Each structure stands twice: as C-alpha cells, then as structure tokens.
Amino acid sequence: MPSGQTRTVAYIAADLSGPDERRVNPRNNLPVPTAGWRRMLGWCAVAGPVLFTAAWLVAGSVQAVYSPRREDISALAALDAQHAWIMIAGIVALGLSLAGLGLGLIGAIDDGRSATVGAILLVLAGVMFVVAGVARDDCSSELEACKKRVNAGDVSWHHQVHDNVGIVVFLVLGLAPLVLARAFRSDSRWRDLRRYSLATGAVSLVLLLVFGGEPFSGWNGLAERILVTIPLVWIAVLGTRLARIAVAADPSA
C-alpha cells in the first residue's frame, strides 16, 4: 500500500478512536479498533458459531433424506439440497464472525508478531468460510453417486473450490490457536487461555489427521461435526473475552 494510503487509514482510525484507545498499534502500525467496535466484534464472534451450529441442526432436520452420521455439513448447502439457503446463511455468518474476531484482536493483545499472525489467520479462516458458503458442492460428497462424479472429475469448479477450501480452513483453524497461545503468554488479560488454546490447536490438528483416514468412512458427518465444534467453542470463548476486555477498558462502550 502506498505511504499516502497508509496515512489515510491511520487518520481514519484516529478519528474513530476514543480518548483512552491506542489509535495505531506501535508494533505493526495497524489501525486499532475502538473499545465499542471490539465489544461488538467480540459478541459477533460468539454469535457466529451459534448460528452455524443452529443452521446445520435445522437444515438437517428439514432435509427429507440426510444422515448426519455419514454426510458432511456441506451437503446441506449443496445444489441439490432442499433448503440450502439455511446452511449457506450459517456458513457465511460464521465466516464473517471469524473475520470480525481477527480484526477485533488487532491491538488487543500485548504481543507483537504472534498476535498479528494469529489475527490474520482468523481473518483468513473467515474469508475461506465465506468462499465455501458461496462456492457450493454439486451434491453430497459422501453418497456413492456423488463420489463417482468426484472421482470421474464430473463436478463443477465451485464443487472443487469448496472441497479444497474446506481442507485448508480446518488446517488454519488448527494453527490459529497455537499461534495465539504464544501471544497470550505476554498478556495477563489473556494468559489463562494459553493452555486451552494449545490444547484446542493440538487436538484439532490431530483429529484432522485421524478423521481424514479411511477407517472413518461412513462416519464422516459425525467426525466433521466433532472436528469443527472444538475450534468453534474456542472462537466463542475468545469472542467473549474480547468483549469483556473492551467493556473493562471503556465501560461506556
């Protein structure tokens, strides 16, 4: 970004900042959200996982033929799903909440590179969820007819994009807690979440490797729900903490 544009962003951030807020993070020169914005983004990070979970519960219950044990969550947003809009809305809401949490964490943790990288990973995960919500599967990838189409390459580009993005986003959701755990050790407001974050990241990555194996064929739907719920609970915990820190910094926020 040209220096003039960088200064413009900084000035906008300064105008939006309250008197007790750092206007620009001195470690990375990124604009820092105000306490009010942090509180809002924190609670949005809590709402996102709740809406996503509610979406697959509701969409699965109204789908005429669907096995939550066998079929992926993405099948509920596929082109042949009966009420795909429910799951699409849930996926996009989750993506926006993740991106919002990442932006809200800028300047909220007293650490340098790790805090910045962790926030970027959350924003990246959020963007990928939005892409996954828009780039829909053609069919339920765990059903035989759809598997044959995938193996034969007889699926659309957006089906391929969805599946590839899905793999990467789970990897990012496993890495983000590990990176932020390193940042939390430098800040007393976040330090008690360090071990929980380490455990979340480690378990998520291990399950990603285990559940990707052939022994879980036929149980992919249940495995995916376990795999996605672990980091999403962590996201909600971080969102709650961010909102509380914002209120403590500025009770009027």
Contact 162, 154 (CB under 8 A): no
pLDDT at 189: 94
User: What is the average pLDDT score of the chain?
Assistant: 84
- Assess if residue 46 is contained within a domain: yes
Contact 141, 167 (CB under 8 A): no
- Assess if residue 118 is contained within a domain: yes
Quick: pLDDT tens for 49-100. 999 999 999 999 999 888 898 888 999 999 989 999 999 999 999 999 999 9
- Assess if residue 15 is contained within a domain: no
Quick: pLDDT tens for 91-112. 999 999 999 999 999 888 887 7
* Pairwise CA distance, residues 248 & 253, whole Å: 9
Closest C-alpha to 162, from 205, 129, 211: 129
* Pairwise CA distance, residues 77 & 131, whole Å: 13
Range of the domain at 154: 34-249
Closest C-alpha to 108, from 128, 122, 96: 122
- Assess if residue 42 is contained within a domain: yes
- Assess if residue 11 is contained within a domain: no
- Assess if residue 19 is contained within a domain: no
Amino acid at 71: E
Contact 185, 37 (CB under 8 A): no
Closest C-alpha to 110, from 245, 2, 253: 245
- Assess if residue 12 is contained within a domain: no
Please count the structural domains in the chain: 1
pLDDT at 7: 37
Weakly modelled stretches of the chain, pLDDT under 70: 1-33, 212-217, 250-253
* Pairwise CA distance, residues 144 & 90, whole Å: 26
- Assess if residue 203 is contained within a domain: yes
